[in-house]
Structure 1
Amino acid sequence: MKSILQPIFTRYWNPYVVLLIAGILSALYFTLTSTVWAVTGEFTRLGGDLLLLFGVDISGWQYFDMVHLQGTTWNRPDGWIVWGMFAGALIMVLLSNSFKIRLPKQKRRYVQGLIGGIIAGFGARLALGCNLAAFFTGVPQFSFHSWIFIIATGIGTFFGSKLTKTRWWKGKPSLTRGSGKPTQGKNRIIQPYIGGTIAVLYIGLITYFFATGQKFLGLGALFGLAFGILIERGQICFTSAFRDLFLVGRSIMAKAIIIGMAVSSILTIIVISLYDVTPITQIAALSTFVGGVLFGLGIVMASGCETGMMYRLMEGQLLFLPVFAGNIIGATFLAYAWDHLGVYTVLVKSGAKINLIDSIGPIGAITVTLVMLAGLYALTVYGEKRYHRKLAVKKGMNVHAS
C-alpha cells in the first residue's frame, strides 16, 4: 500500500497526464451542468457579496445583472467550484506533508502581488474570462473571443516578463514550491491526519448536497475538489506556461495545456452534437484584447494566475493572500467601471458573440480549432528551440571571448 500511495502524495504528477484529465473532466462538467470550469466570474460575484455586506447598493450595476448575482457564494455552484479547488489543493498539500508558511524575501512583493492581482482580475473580467473560461475551457466551447484572449495574454505576459527583469523591480524572491517529499518532525507529522479529516468532512458535504436534492451544488463541490487536486499535484500554472517560455525556454506546461484543450475540444464537440447543448459564447471585442493584455501583465507581476495562486496559497505562500484579494478587487472594480465609467460603451458595445460552430459548422469548428491548436503547439516548440539556440550561441561567444 505504501508503494502505491507514495508516488501519489510525495511526487508531483506529470503535467501532460494532469491536463489531459482536466480536459476530460472539463468536458464532463459541461455535459452535466451546461456551464464551464471558471473562477473569476465567481470572484466578481464574491466582490458583489462583500459590497452588499457593507451596505453598498449594487442593484443598478449592469455587470452584476449580466453575471447573475444571486444568493451567496455558498449557494452557487460556481462558488463551490472555487472553494472546492481550495479544499482539494489544501488536502493534497497536507497529505503530502507540504504545508509550510513561506514569506517573500522582499516586503515590496506584497504590494507588487496586490497590484498584479488587481490588474489581472480587472483584465480577466474585462475579457469575460481568465485562463480558464477564456482559455482552457473557452477554446473547447469554440468561442472566438478565446483566441483573441490567448494572443493578447501572450503579449501581456511577454511585457510582464520584461518588467520583472528591470532593476527597479529588483527581482522576485525565491518562492519554493511545496516540497515533494514528506518532512519528518513532530511539527509536521500531523499534517496527513488533518488532510484526511478535511477530506472526509468535505466528502460528507458533497454527499449532503446530493442527498438533499442540491445536485448542482454537489457537482460544483465535487468537480471543484477534483480540479483542486489536479492543479496542486500537477503544479498547474498558466503564468509559468507563458513566462517560462520567454524567460528560460521551458515549454512543458504550455504543451500540456494545448494537448488538454485539444482533447477537451474533441469531447465537447461530441457532446454538443449528440445532446444539442448550447456552447458558452462570450463577446469578442476590443475589450477582449485589452483585457487579455492586462491579464497577462498582471499574472506575471503577481507571480501566478488564478489556478497557480490557489494552490500556492494552500501551500502556505503568504504572498498570494494579497494576490487573491487583488483579484477580487480588480474584478469588482471592473463591474463598477462597466457602466459607471463607460467601459462597456468604449470597449465592448461594438463587439459580438462569435461561435465557430455557428459560423462554419461543427466539423469546420473542430477542424479549425485543432489546426490552430497544432499551430500554437508548433509555435511553442519553435520558441523553445529558438531560446536554446540563442543561449548556445551566447555561451559559445563567451567561451571564445575567454
Structure 2
Amino acid sequence: MRWQDFKTQYLIKFWAPLPAVIAAGILSTYYFGLTGTFWAVTGEFTRWGGHIAQLFGADPQQWGYFKVIGLEGTPLDRIDGMMIIGMFGGCIAAALWANNIKLRLPQHRIRIFQAVLGGIIAGFGARLAMGCNLAAFFTGIPQFSLHAWFFALATAVGSYFGARFTLLPIFRIPVKLQKVSAASPLTQKPAQARRRFRMGMIIFLVMVIWGMVEITNSPKLGIAMLFGLGFGLLIERAQICFTSAFRDLWITGRTHMAKAIIIGMAVSAIGIFSYVQMGAHPKIMWAGPNAVLGGLLFGFGIVLAGGCETGWMYRAVEGQVHYWWVGLGNVIGATILAYYWDDIAPALATNYDKVNLLDTFGPYGGLLVTYILLGLAFVAMLWWEKHFFAKKNAQSAISLDTSKEPA
C-alpha cells in the first residue's frame, strides 16, 4: 500500500467504531496489567480541581476524598496525569491529521448553560460513584466490581431522563433563515491540510519520544503516556462517545455504539481475568447507593451537557468551544463532590461492601456471571432496536392512513 493510500485510509478518514472500541478494550487490559491501575479520567480531573482549590488557599489534602484517591505531586508525577496528557496529545495529533480542527462557538447561550450545568452534574455523579464511563464500563465491569453494574444500569436510566429533558422547548434553538442568491461554493484548502498533517505528525512523534524517554526514568509514567496517546487516537478517530451511545439509544433507536461498547467490555474482561489469575488486584469499589445515585446523575448530566469524559476531550481539541465549558463543569462538579465527601460517604458509600464477583461466585463463576450479564445487555440492545423501529413504523403507518382520509 502506498503511503498516500495509507494516510487517507487510516489517518484522515474516521475509523469504524466497533474495531476501535475493541482495540480500546484491549489497550485498557494491557494498561491495567502493566501499570497496576485502570483507564479513567475523572479522578485526575478531580485532582486538578484540588490543585486549583490550593491556589485559592484551601487545604484539599485534608479532605477525605483526596485521602482515598491521593493528591500528591503534579500531573507529571502521577500515572493518571501522564495518561491524560497522552490522551490530549493523541486527540490533537489525530484531529490535525484529518484537518478536523476549527473554532466553533456555541450557537446560543442556552448551550453554554447546558454545558456547564450538565458537566457539573456529570462530574459530581461520576465521583460520587467512584467512576465515570471509563472507570465503570471499561474498567469496573471488566474488573468484576458489582458497583460498576449498579452504575451502568443507573446511567442508562439517567440518560433516558436526560434525553427527554433536553427535548423540552427551552432547549430548542430558533432557526434563523437567511435569504441567499446562490449556493456557497465548497472551499478546499489542501495547503492547510498538508501543514496540519505535518504538525500532527510532529506532535505524535514528540509524544512518543517523551513517553520513551520517561520509561527510562519511571517506567510506569512512560507507559501511561504511550497508552494515553493510543487512547486519544482511538477516541478522536472513531469519535467514541458514551453520551451519543445512550442518547441515540433513546432518541433515534440506534444501538451500534452501545453494542460496540458491550463487545469491547467482553474483550477486556477475559484479559483482566487473566491478569487477576496471575496475581493482579482488580479495582473494586463500594456497591452502595452512591453507585446508583451517581449513575443517575452521571447519565442525566452527560446527555444534558452533550458529552461524556471521552467525548468532551476530543471535541474540545477539535475547537468546539461548547466542550471547553463541559470540561470546566466536569472539574467543578467533581471538586464539589470531593469537598462534601466526608459528609455523605458513610451514608452512601463507605459503610457498604466492596463486592468482587470473582470472590462471590468463584473465579470462573464470576467470569461466567459477567459474560451472562453482558450477553443480556447485548440482547436488550437488539430488543430495544427492534421495538423502537417497529413502533416508529407503526406510527408512520397510522399517520399515512390518517392523511388519506377524505376531509
TM range (shorter): over 0.9
What CA RMSD, in Å, does the superposition of the two structures yield over aligned residues? 1.6
Task: Map 1:1-400; keep pairs closer than 5 Å.
Answer: 1-170=3-172, 183-211=188-216, 213-273=217-277, 275-339=278-342, 342-400=343-401
Deviation at 1:134, TM superposition (A): 1.5
Task: Indicate conservation of the 8 Å contact 1:10/1:182, yes or no.
Answer: no
TM-score, with length taken from structure 2 = 0.93
Structure 1 gaps of 5+ residues are 174-180
102-111 or 279-288, which moves further after superposition? 102-111
* Structure 2: distance between partners of 1:61 and 1:286: 21
Q: 1:214-239, CA deviations, whole angstroms, 9 ceiling, x for partnerless residues? A: 11110110100000000011110001
Q: Per the alignment, in what secondary structure is the counterpart of residue 142 of structure 2?
A: helix
Residue identity opposite 1:10 in structure 2: I
Residue identity opposite 2:258 in structure 1: A
TM-score, with length taken from structure 1 = 0.94
Partner in structure 1 of residue 181 of structure 2: none
* Structure 2: distance between partners of 1:170 and 1:116: 16
Task: Indicate conservation of the 8 Å contact 1:284/1:351, yes or no.
Answer: yes
* Structure 2: distance between partners of 1:272 and 1:353: 16
* Structure 2: distance between partners of 1:165 and 1:188: 37
Q: Per the alignment, in what secondary structure is the counterpart of residue 137 of structure 1?
A: helix
Larger Rg: 2
* Structure 2: distance between partners of 1:183 and 1:216: 43
* Structure 1: distance between partners of 2:161 and 2:269: 30
Task: Indicate conservation of the 8 Å contact 1:46/1:328, yes or no.
Answer: yes
Tell me the matched-pair count. Answer: 391
Structure 2 gaps of 5+ residues are 176-185
Task: Indicate conservation of the 8 Å contact 1:119/1:295, yes or no.
Answer: yes
* Structure 2: distance between partners of 1:28 and 1:134: 17
* Structure 1: distance between partners of 2:27 and 2:370: 19
Residue identity opposite 2:282 in structure 1: P
CA shift in 2, pair 1:182/1:62, >3 Å: farther
Deviation at 1:101, TM superposition (A): 0.9
* Structure 2: distance between partners of 1:40 and 1:123: 10
Q: 1:173-212, CA deviations, whole angstroms, 9 ceiling, x for partnerless residues? A: 9xxxxxxx9952555542112112211221221122012x
Q: Per the alignment, in what secondary structure is the counterpart of residue 140 of structure 1?
A: coil
Q: 1:225-257, CA deviations, whole angstroms, 9 ceiling, x for partnerless residues? A: 000000011110001111101000100000000
Q: Per the alignment, in what secondary structure is the counterpart of residue 353 of structure 1?
A: coil
Residue identity opposite 1:134 in structure 2: A
Deviation at 1:271, TM superposition (A): 1.6
Deviation at 1:356, TM superposition (A): 0.4
* Structure 2: distance between partners of 1:171 and 1:89: 29
Deviation at 1:14, TM superposition (A): 1.2
* Structure 2: distance between partners of 1:184 and 1:132: 36
Q: 1:371-394, CA deviations, whole angstroms, 9 ceiling, x for partnerless residues? A: 100000000111111110111011
Task: Indicate conservation of the 8 Å contact 1:165/1:171, yes or no.
Answer: no
Deviation at 1:72, TM superposition (A): 0.8
Q: Per the alignment, in what secondary structure is the counterpart of residue 307 of structure 2?
A: coil
Deviation at 1:129, TM superposition (A): 0.1
CA shift in 2, pair 1:41/1:105, >3 Å: same
Deviation at 1:54, TM superposition (A): 2.7
Task: Indicate conservation of the 8 Å contact 1:120/1:296, yes or no.
Answer: yes
Q: Percent identity?
A: 44
